[in-house]
Amino acid sequence: MRKILTIIMLTLLLTVSCGKPEAQKILEKDLNALQSGEITNITGISPNSKEFSNTNSEMSAAFANAYKKLTYKVTKTKVEGDTATMNVDLKIPELASYFPEYFQKAMELRFSTLNGKEEDIEAKIKNLAKEFFEEKLNSKDLKYFEKNVEVVFKKEGNEWKFDEGNSKNKDFLDGLTLGFASILEKINKDNKNDGK
């Protein structure tokens, strides 16, 4: 009986001490920081966390509110050497799906104030952006990016970092940018095609 209890205790101790892989802990810490608005605490998924969110921008508040609606669950983590691959169920508002509507309203505003001061026009457009996206975030039919995505980290020295160059991270980045990464990719592709 004593042997059985000892084996059970050792098994529990090993299970608890092993815990989650370090890369998963970093990912979860960063996603929790996004949810809570603590952008400067993000270290793994964005090495330039100050660039990740421009706190002077009128849009920052809308984006911060979008990140508050982020939900995730790490369903699987596989570590092989210096690479960690995590499967994550990710749900986050897809604000980019509203961009064409916003762009149309911004152009209408721009043309209706052609003779105004540039500073006043810029202020009105920034205010429009903030109000427009806040309204969408509060809408009952808010569109979401909802998908199981792969997230790949690589070990650099002793630290796990998001592998920005890994194509498997494309869907995760698209979700994390509220869908805007796809728009930028399309614009870049169109610009390259126009240059040919």
Tokens for 100? 């064409």
Domain ranges of the chain: 2-96+139-194
Which CATH code of 3.40.30, 3.40.50, 3.30.1460, 3.10.450 fits the domain covering 2-96+139-194? Answer: 3.10.450
Q: What percent of the chain has pLDDT over 90?
A: 49
| The pLDDT of residue 13 | 46
Handedness of CA 188, 186, 68, 32 (dihedral sign): negative
Q: What is the pLDDT of residue 45?
A: 78
- pLDDT at residue 155 is higher than 60: yes
Query: What pLDDT, on the 0 to 100 scale, is given for residue 37?
Result: 83
- What secondary structure does DSSP assign to 66-129, as a single string? HHHT-EEEEEEEEEETTEEEEEEEEEEE-GGGGHHHHHHHHHHHHHHTTTS-HHHHHHHHHHHH
Calpha distance 38→31 (Å, rounded): 10
pLDDT over threshold 80, residue 193: no
**Terminus-to-terminus CA distance in the chain, angstroms?**
78
Quote the radius of gyration of the chain (alpha carbons, Å).
Answer: 22
Q: Which whole number is the average pLDDT over 19-28?
A: 90
Choice among 56-65, 96-105, 148-157 with the minimum mean pLDDT: 56-65
